[in-house]
Structure 1
């Protein structure tokens, strides 16, 4: 039997059709049912499964990003804590306003302790920065080369922050050397000074 025989077959005669025709017809009906079932039931289910997989991947990506952010945030907090500790240590090296006279006395004593003679020790006007003030002090001292070098080293070793700038060496008295320089001392601004400074900024920013 060929395909034309199957096409010409009357359904009423299917019961009397040969076994081969019955088998082909049964297979065709089964395939038709499977195809209809796929499109009716399985196709939406497979689409929903694909959607669920995509949502799962999105959630995994979101979780990975959040985890990475959490790790970075923890590292940021550690760096911030380290910075705050460093700032606190720096502030401990800055005297307050009432301690500035003692600091200047320490600088003067460092020179005297090395046998130097001060011709000039003149504090200038303070200059304020973010949270601290700088006080330049113009000095002129006479002494031997090594004594002057030791004086500079002693000033650098003071527990408070003191820096030396614009050093100029010239012949001094009695065959010694004269050193002209600017010493800068630093102190932190107290709360009232910070408030005054911030208030001044606010007024300056208004039009």
Structure 2
């Protein structure tokens, strides 16, 4: 029997060999379509879910490690807060900044220096604090200037000497131009008020 003689409307009357081939081809086409339209999207969805599961597991591991060390982190935060409070307390208050000029003048006089000028500079906002510069010009010997710098560093409040410029004067005297910078914590007042309540 020739393939052209096959009646596609009456497949049941075909010879067994042709019926078997037709059923095998139809089954293969159906299986291919099923795999392409049903199985592949499900496999892709499974991959997405597996990736999500992997991410969640990694997040869980990180959080488990953090929670295992939670007490140590809390103790560390307490320690950091104590250090931070200590540093904030080393920053001068508004009243102490006003008296800082007198302290610097006293230290300079105590070390035998002559003040040519001492003036407040423009305040500068630097985030959590306000930078308060003091422009200083003094005349003295090398040793006197060294003692002056050491005594400024020994003040209980943070004072930084910046932009130091030395120039030679008469005899053994040197002229020092320097900016003494101190910082005031912006939220100090608010913190003190909260503590009083």
TM-superposed deviation, 1:173: 4.2
Determine the C-alpha separation between the residues in 1 that align with 2:159 and 2:105: 12
Contact 2:92–2:182, Cα closer than 8 Å, also in 1 = no
* Residue 83 of structure 2 corresponds to residue 86 of structure 1: yes
* Residue 155 of structure 2 corresponds to residue 185 of structure 1: no
User: What TM-score, normalized by structure 1, do the two folds share?
Assistant: 0.58
Residue from 147, 150, 156 that aligns with 2:147: 150
For each residue in 1:38-97, what CA deviation from the matched residue of structure 2 results, as whole angstroms up to 9, or x when unmatched?
Answer: xxxxxxxxxxxxxxxxxxxxxxx9xx9576433322221122111101110011111221
Q: Equivalent residue for 1:176?
A: 173
Residue from 105, 109, 118 that aligns with 1:108: 105
User: What TM-score, normalized by structure 2, do the two folds share?
Assistant: 0.60
* Residue 131 of structure 2 corresponds to residue 139 of structure 1: no
Task: Classify 1:189/1:182 alpha carbon distance in 2 versus 1 (closer, same or farther; 3 Å).
Answer: same
Q: How many residues matched? A: 133
Contact 1:116–1:147, Cα closer than 8 Å, also in 2 = yes
Contact 2:129–2:186, Cα closer than 8 Å, also in 1 = yes
Question: RMSD between aligned alpha carbons?
Answer: 2.5
Q: Which aligned pairs between 1:1-207 and structure 2 lie closer than 5 A? A: 68-190=65-187
